[in-house]
Amino acid sequence: MSKVQALTSHIKSKISKSASQSSCYSLYNATNNKTRDKIQFATPEDIQQAIQDASSAQERWHRDHTPTQRSEILQKASYILTGRSDEITAHEVKDTGRTISEIKSYDVPAASRCLSYYANMPSILSNGTYHDIDHSFAYVKREPIGVTAGIGAWNYPLMNAVAKSAPSLSFGNSMLFKPSELTPNSALILADIYEEAGVPPGVFQVLLGDGSVGAELVASPSIGKVSFTGSVETGKKLCQIKAAAESNNFSKMTLELGGKSPFIIMEDADLDQAVTGAMQANWYSNGQVCSNGTRVFVHESLKDEFLERLVERTKLFKIGDPMQEDTEVGPMVSENHMNDVLNYIEIGKNADKAQLLYGGERVFSSLEDGFYLTPAIFSNCTDDMKIVQEEVFGMLMSVLTFQDEDEVIRRANATQFGLAAGIFTNDIKRAHRMANHLKAGNVWINNYNLGPVELPWGGCKHSGVGRENGSYDAAFEWTMGKSVYVEMDDI
């Protein structure tokens, strides 16, 4: 067997221990359940050293580079990232199990665009505001927060790393980024790209490890802002860690958490479009998307026709090796996660007693021992079922019916989550009226799961606080205001 080299954190100072002296973790290939890379966890000494280095690097990054110079560097990073598209795609497919066609067509171009978008942002938004006050005047500057931290989930590792670091660095902060232990590669490549583009060492560092590494960042009084993407459960833990460290930690925190979003099909919708939308809202990324519209509310008059077309089209999905261009569904990210999803399918069948119309099975034939599942469609669902209430984060769609608009709005909002919602209708007034009443951070009308960088992204209720992306939202999230009053009279 060939010796597997351990991946190590990308930090400015030398790593404190060799792989044999510190904890390591094996990464499995989701397509065949075989070991591939090993990762070496950052030690507490590495983390503390990286925080110190991030602090001195940030001061120089802000003081010695004008917004225009930072902008040029980030723009260059965007070009380099596009040039390394094939390499990044291959790693991202292996790490996540998501298909090559998705990652090539969405993740890499979106990451490059995000870098380009924030490259130009500080020169527009850092200028602040000017105020005449009596005979004097004042101005408000937007200044960097200092050292920031990003903690990412495993489903969109590259996008998590870029969506957090591009605005942070662009506004003059430094960032310590902890990717999920399942998906470390794209953040490490991003660190190389930033350095090649001219970002000074220490401004963007990657710390590898499990949740304990993230917990140290959250507790650190030297970190001014944490941007977290992950589950509601971990988000709650972060709040507790911060509260326990509250005597010396008043940092800002953004939480991008899970969801159980409603996808609503009104009686006047274009049914084929609605079926396409529902599939996009449930099967994309093997069902592992936070904003997925997994509670599909279909008007009772359309139910039979909808289900027939949905099952027919879902059966045609090509499940297989995610490195093949024509594959539409790859493996789940890990064995544990696959088992969690299978467990929910059992609950749906046996405890909830919903009707499993199609799928929900592990697929083995010619796919080695990978973590492959067929998409599961449950009908005859009710609001109180566990599969309807809880986030599964896999290909499990629950189909519910309704009779009128007021009823569906009330039931769509009756959840602890508030990340996203979708409405399919051809009545434009109704579409806007419903969008007004849905309690969610993102609402799509006649489409689903789009997240252009121009639009702020985030949730309400247990789906989180704060926003990523957008222009003004990003400026407020990644900077702090400084008011300067200038007295023009004697006092």
Binding site for ligand NDP (CB under 6 A): 151-156, 178, 180-182, 210-211, 214-215, 218, 229-231, 234, 237-238, 256-259, 290, 391, 393, 419, 459, 464
Give me the helix-helix angle, 108-119 and 157-170, nearest 10°. 10
Q: Is 405 a catalytic residue?
A: no
The bridge status of strand 355-358 relative to strand 204-206 is: unpaired
Distance CA(282)–CA(398), nearest Å, equals: 10
Which helix (H) or strand (E) is 171 found in, with range?
none
The nearer residue to ligand NDP, 187 or 269, going by C-beta atoms, is: 187
3-state SS record for 298-311: EEHHHHHHHHHHHH
Tell me which of 92, 114, 290, 381 is the catalytic residue: 290
Identity of the residue numbered 295: R
Tell me which of 256, 391, 405, 477 is the catalytic residue: 256
The DSSP-derived string for 189-254 is: HHHHHHHHHTPPTTSEEE---SHHHHHHHHH-TT--EEEEES-HHHHHHHHHHHHHTGGG---EEE
The nearer residue to ligand NDP, 239 or 367, going by C-beta atoms, is: 239
Q: Is 290 a catalytic residue?
A: yes
Q: Which of 248, 163, 233 is nearest to 466 (CA)?
A: 163
Q: How far is the CB of 180 from ligand NDP (least distance, A)?
A: 4
Other CB atoms within 10 A of residue 296 CB: 27
The nearer residue to ligand NDP, 210 or 427, going by C-beta atoms, is: 210
Other CB atoms within 10 A of residue 59 CB: 14
C-beta separation of 145 from 173 below 8 A = yes
The nearer residue to ligand NDP, 146 or 259, going by C-beta atoms, is: 259
Angle ∠(36,39,43) on CA atoms, nearest 5: 170
Q: How far is the CB of 432 from ligand NDP (least distance, A)?
A: 24
The nearer residue to ligand NDP, 194 or 393, going by C-beta atoms, is: 393
Tokens representing 244? 């326990």
Q: How far is the CB of 125 from ligand NDP (least distance, A)?
A: 22
Q: How far is the CB of 151 from ligand NDP (least distance, A)?
A: 5
Q: How far is the CB of 380 from ligand NDP (least distance, A)?
A: 26
At 434 the three-state DSSP class reads helix
Residues 6+ apart with CB under 8 A from 263: 277, 278, 281, 282, 293, 294, 295, 296, 297, 421, 422, 424, 448
The nearer residue to ligand NDP, 182 or 412, going by C-beta atoms, is: 182
Q: How far is the CB of 79 from ligand NDP (least distance, A)?
A: 26
C-beta separation of 257 from 290 below 8 A = yes
Q: How far is the CB of 309 from ligand NDP (least distance, A)?
A: 28
Tokens representing 211? 């949740």
The nearer residue to ligand NDP, 89 or 155, going by C-beta atoms, is: 155
Tell me which of 391, 405, 468, 477 is the catalytic residue: 468
The nearer residue to ligand NDP, 29 or 180, going by C-beta atoms, is: 180
Tell me which of 12, 76, 94, 164 is the catalytic residue: 164
Q: How far is the CB of 333 from ligand NDP (least distance, A)?
A: 8
Q: Which of 161, 143, 119 is nearest to 478 (CA)?
A: 143
- By annotation, the residues acting in catalysis are 164, 256, 290, 468
